[in-house]
């Protein structure tokens, strides 16, 4: 019990309880929508952190798994009844397709060096974007389509709570995954791939596993995303979606998971805040410029991400305290 109730875990529990109580202390619909977006993009960023932060793989095509989940959910709910069982089947179908695609893409491209892999994943993502644009009988092209969602999820409160609970569950699952022996091997690959291979590990095998896990959870985020909009179009395959996940992970702190959640919160909040400022002065209509400045400032002051820099500061502080205690013991 004492091992579980550490300072970080206590903070996590308090924040979770505060987020759980938030919709009952405010009636702001805008706030609920913003936090719902934060939760689902946090899931997406955590899935990307498995690749970048824990395996050292840079991907520019992660949006294809997000889009697969989005389109699978949208198409099935449009073609069939919008019930809870049908929704669960749609999410499962999206996850299976994303898992298969990530396996195939991984087997084809993960043998390459990191920068070649990044370019190849961008090309695969572009193929899915073209497919969504051209297969108009199913996807309605760039125009997209609307669809109905199950009645319980029409209430924004229920959708907020669902997104929050799923984010917490996925965080715990991925945390367990990264602390497992398999997760330790992935971190070894990140640190020194050649040495890990020399120890007898099949590096490609472990990289593909990381790719499949990341792809499946990214599809969950895509499914949640279209549920909040009740609409899907080709924008879910855009490169911007992947870049958002990359920024969220870097700003929060790579290889931390919790950093991906913090990064998602900061970026979504900054996006909403800067967009609202456009009503105050025309210069804020170019909010992307201020967003870039914000990113530069964060990287300058938190070079290892927010969570990574805080952990480094904390470890140095503890190291200083231990050194002082030793010096006192020696002097006494």
| 85 within domain boundaries | yes
2: pLDDT strictly greater than 60: no
Contacts of residue 272, Cβ cutoff 8 Å, sequence gap at least 6: 34
| 331 within domain boundaries | no
The DSSP H or E segment spanning 231 is strand 231-232
Query: Of 245, 249, 256, 244, which is closest to residue 299 (Cα–Cα)?
Result: 249
| 146, β-bridge pairs | 231
Average pLDDT over residues 197-211: 92
pLDDT at 89: 96
Q: Is 69 helix (H, G, I), strand (E, B) or coil?
A: helix
Domain boundaries, position 233: 29-301
Inter-CA distances, 208 with 29, 46, 217, Å: 41, 17, 14
Q: What percent of the chain clears pLDDT 70, i.e. is strictly above it? A: 88
The DSSP H or E segment spanning 146 is strand 145-146
- What value does the CA radius of gyration of the chain take, rounded to a whole number of Å? 21
| 226 within domain boundaries | yes
pLDDT at 332: 56
24: pLDDT strictly greater than 80: yes
Inter-CA distances, 250 with 34, 211, 254, 296, 309, Å: 21, 19, 6, 11, 11
| Cβ count near 158 (within 10 Å) | 14
| 313 within domain boundaries | no
Give me the torsion for CA of 270, 266, 174, 128, rounded to 10°: 20
What confidence tier does 26 reach under pLDDT thresholds 50, 70, 90? confident
| 16 within domain boundaries | no
User: Rounded distance, CA 133 to CA 130, Å?
Assistant: 5
pLDDT tens string 217-233: 999 999 999 999 999 99
Average pLDDT over residues 196-214: 93
66's tokens = 């997000």
pLDDT at 284: 60
CATH of the domain at 130: 1.10.3470
- Polymer length in residues for the chain: 332
Structural domain tally of the chain? 1
289: pLDDT strictly greater than 90: no
pLDDT at 210: 95
What confidence tier does 1 reach under pLDDT thresholds 50, 70, 90? very low
Q: Are the CB atoms for 118 and 59 separated by under 8 Å?
A: yes
pLDDT at 111: 79
| 323 within domain boundaries | no
pLDDT at 103: 94
Q: What percent of the chain clears pLDDT 90, i.e. is strictly above it? A: 60
When mean pLDDT is compared over 105-119, 174-188, 242-256, 299-313, the highest value belongs to: 174-188
pLDDT at 288: 67
196: pLDDT strictly greater than 70: yes
DSSP state at residue 155? S
| 327 within domain boundaries | no
The DSSP H or E segment spanning 123 is helix 114-134
The pTM of the full predicted model, rounded to 2 decimals, is 0.90
318: pLDDT strictly greater than 80: no
93: pLDDT strictly greater than 50: yes
165: pLDDT strictly greater than 80: yes
Range name among 17-31, 68-82, 301-315 with the lowest pLDDT average: 301-315
| 92 within domain boundaries | yes
pLDDT at 27: 82
List phi, psi (to 5°) of 235. Answer: -60, -20
Inter-CA distances, 210 with 53, 122, 169, Å: 11, 18, 18
| Cβ count near 86 (within 10 Å) | 16
Inter-CA distances, 288 with 36, 270, 279, 295, Å: 22, 10, 15, 10
Whole-number average pLDDT of the chain: 88
What confidence tier does 323 reach under pLDDT thresholds 50, 70, 90? low
Average pLDDT over residues 125-135: 93
């Amino acid at each position: 019990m004492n091992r579980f109730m550490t300072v970080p875990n206590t903070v996590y529990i308090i924040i979770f309880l505060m987020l759980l109580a938030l919709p009952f202390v405010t009636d702001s619909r805008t706030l609920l929508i913003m936090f719902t977006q934060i939760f689902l993009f946090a899931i997406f960023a955590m899935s990307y952190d498995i690749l970048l932060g824990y395996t050292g793989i840079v991907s520019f095509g992660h949006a294809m798994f997000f889009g697969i989940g989005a389109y699978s959910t949208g198409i099935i709910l449009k073609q069939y009844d919008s019930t809870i069982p049908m929704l669960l089947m749609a999410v499962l179908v999206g996850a299976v397709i994303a898992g298969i695609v990530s396996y195939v893409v991984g087997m084809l491209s993960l043998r390459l060096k990191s920068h070649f892999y990044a370019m190849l994943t961008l090309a695969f993502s572009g193929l899915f974007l073209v497919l969504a644009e051209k297969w108009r009988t199913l996807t309605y092209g760039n125009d997209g389509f609307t669809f109905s969602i199950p009645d319980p999820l029409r209430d924004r409160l229920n959708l907020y709570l669902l997104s929050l609970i799923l984010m917490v569950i996925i965080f715990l699952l991925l945390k367990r995954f990264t602390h497992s022996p398999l997760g330790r091997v992935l971190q070894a690959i990140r640190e020194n791939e050649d040495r890990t291979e020399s120890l007898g590990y099949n590096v490609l095998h472990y990289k593909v596993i990381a790719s499949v896990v990341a792809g499946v959870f990214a599809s969950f985020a895509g499914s949640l995303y279209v549920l909040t909009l009740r609409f899907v179009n080709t924008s879910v395959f855009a490169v911007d979606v992947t870049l958002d996940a990359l920024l969220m992970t870097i700003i929060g702190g790579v290889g931390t998971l919790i950093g991906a959640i913090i990064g998602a919160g900061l970026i979504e909040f900054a996006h909403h805040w800067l967009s609202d400022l456009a009503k105050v002065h025309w210069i804020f209509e170019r909010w992307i410029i201020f967003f870039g400045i914000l990113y530069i400032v964060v990287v300058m002051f938190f070079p290892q991400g927010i969570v990574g820099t805080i952990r480094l500061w904390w470890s140095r502080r503890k190291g200083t305290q231990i050194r002082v205690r030793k010096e006192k013991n020696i002097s006494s």
